[in-house]
Amino acid sequence: MAAPPSMEEPLLGGGNGEEKKGGSSRLAVVAEVRKQLYLAGPLIAGWLLQNVVQMISVMFVGHLGELELSSASIATSFAGVTGFSLLAGMASSLDTLCGQAFGAKQHRLVGVYKQRAMVVLGLASVCVAAVWAYTGELLLLFGQDPEIAAAAGSYIRWMIPALLAYGPLQCHVRFLQTQNAVMPVMLSSGAAAACHLPVCWLLVYGAGLGSKGAALANAVAYLANAAALAAYVRLSPACRSTWTGFSSEAFHDLVGFMRLAVPSALMVCLEWWSFELLVLLSGLLPNPKLEASVLSICLNSGSLAFMIPFGLGSAISTRVSNELGAGRPEAARLASRVVMVLGLGVGVAIGLAMILVRHLWGYAYSNEEEVVQYVAKMMPILAVSFLFDDLQCVLSGVARGCGWQKVGAIVNLGAYYLVGIPAALCFAFVYHLGGMGLWLGIMCALIVQMLLLLAITVCTNWEKEALKAKERVFSSSLPADMTT
């Protein structure tokens, strides 16, 4: 068996002076911009279309009655906090593992990592499903109305099949994304979202399942999406070298995989949970109906716009992981700098758009003049916070590409729970700024998060990161008895 390359040698001869000189040229910058936009465009569309699925289901439920809408909204929020955020976070560890293995041309290992992730996410899904089975009782413990708690518990139990399909879907998306195969992700997500409308109608009205049918329709959409991607992986010549069928290696070193998957999940969940906490805190403010409504509009608007930097973040995680795995640290450095400029441009453009439409945006959600005016006051703050959210998102993508999930989790813990939430409580309840104060607190968290990630990225020794990537890939490609 041939020995792996020594840690001092570039994997693909990428460390020569000629490439370093070319990496800083204008031609290299233009080429890098094209690569990132090629990846980001389909990924933005794919993530948007995946998020549309649950939105359509809630819209259908909203036409069934007030109880159904409120219970479905609570159930969807609870599902996001306890289940979907956890699985999405754990799957993001593949951004590092698959991306670096693919860059190092260890193609078989890319497929092994995906199988390992499917095993771990499958076990996590079973544990989460057990919690979801008692959602109604848990909501009662938190003081929810008994009728709403019972309806939400019923709705989320019918979402358990969607949870079980969501893990494999995320694994397939990351598996393809790290190989630069992004068009299938967009097309399968588009087909699933288009079919979701008639499926929702058939299950809600045709089959007479009501809100339960809307919950079940999510599972149909996720399962169809995952099945389409699985078929592509098995049939496409592009995946022939990275997918060679299921292997017993999927069950090896699961603990080692968890060492990256758990921090990856924390990195995502700590941020996700803080925004959900804002909604809960808004219920403690004077005039809670107005505050909660406006805050929900801001969160919904921000989440929609966030898909653009999220696509850029996914693209840069692929670019950085591929280049580090290939032993090209200068190319990884260039990619990180290019994405910062792209992220800044996107943040400024969308922020200006938010300010320009601030007096009209509220009418898309409500005809109440009080709500519309409050939204108009919030939009400039939302625009500024989006700029920092945009930049932290692309920097988080760099972190995933390098494998800094532990550092990212610590940064998010400090930014949101040592700075953001205390500041939100202070602005909202001490200075009586209401919902605006809650959002200002989160903006403080975003600023701290962005500055810390920026400092880490700027001070990075990219040659050292390339050596770490090589060590990670080749320690995984050796037999277990040799690595130990």
pLDDT value at residue 276: 82
Are residues 245 and 260 part of one domain?
Answer: no
Residue 438 in this model has a pLDDT that exceeds 50: yes
**Residue 30 falls inside a structural domain:** no
Mean pLDDT of 362-390: 89
Are residues 115 and 213 part of one domain?
Answer: yes
pLDDT value at residue 174: 96
Q: pLDDT of 63-122, one tens digit each?
A: 787 778 778 878 888 898 899 999 999 999 999 999 999 999 999 999 999 999 999 999
Mean pLDDT of 32-52: 91
Q: Can you list the alpha helix ranges (DSSP code H) found in 236-328?
A: 254-282, 288-325
Q: Is 102 left (phi over 0), alpha (psi -120 to 50) or beta?
A: alpha
pLDDT value at residue 477: 59
Residue 15 in this model has a pLDDT that exceeds 70: no
**Residue 27 falls inside a structural domain:** no
Enumerate long-range contacts of 73-80, CB under 8 Å, 24 or more apart: 74/139, 74/144, 74/148, 74/152, 75/135, 75/152, 75/153, 75/155, 75/156, 75/159, 75/215, 77/276, 77/279, 78/135, 78/139, 78/152, 78/156, 79/132, 79/156, 79/159, 79/163, 80/272, 80/276
**Residue 8 falls inside a structural domain:** no
Mean pLDDT of 220-224: 95
Are residues 246 and 324 part of one domain?
Answer: no
Total domain count for the chain?
2
**Residue 260 falls inside a structural domain:** yes
Q: Do residues 177 and 311 lie in contact, with contact meaning Cβ atoms separated by under 8 Å?
A: no
pLDDT value at residue 114: 95
Are residues 387 and 375 part of one domain?
Answer: yes
- Boundary (domain end) residue, out of 216, 236, 252: 252
- Boundary (domain end) residue, out of 219, 252, 285: 252
- Boundary (domain end) residue, out of 252, 273, 295: 252
Percentage of the residues of the chain whose pLDDT score is greater than 90 = 66
Are residues 457 and 338 part of one domain?
Answer: yes
**Residue 11 falls inside a structural domain:** no
**Residue 268 falls inside a structural domain:** yes
> DSSP letter string over 169-233?
HHHHHHHHHTTT--HHHHHHHHHHHHHHHHHHHIIIIIS--THHHHHHHHHHHHHHHHHHHHHHH
pLDDT value at residue 24: 53
Residue 20 in this model has a pLDDT that exceeds 60: no
Mean pLDDT of 376-381: 93
Are residues 259 and 248 part of one domain?
Answer: no
Are residues 327 and 377 part of one domain?
Answer: yes
CA 301 to each of CA 58, 84, 364, 377, 383: distance values in angstroms, whole numbers, following the listed order: 16, 20, 10, 14, 10
Residue 349 in this model has a pLDDT that exceeds 70: yes
**Residue 6 falls inside a structural domain:** no
Residue 220 in this model has a pLDDT that exceeds 80: yes
Residue 481 in this model has a pLDDT that exceeds 90: no
Are residues 308 and 167 part of one domain?
Answer: no
> 378 is in which domain, residue-wise?
255-473
Are residues 350 and 240 part of one domain?
Answer: no
**Residue 353 falls inside a structural domain:** yes
CA 338 to each of CA 29, 95, 310, 399, 421: distance values in angstroms, whole numbers, following the listed order: 7, 19, 15, 15, 32
- pLDDT tier at 332 (50, 70, 90 boundaries)? very high
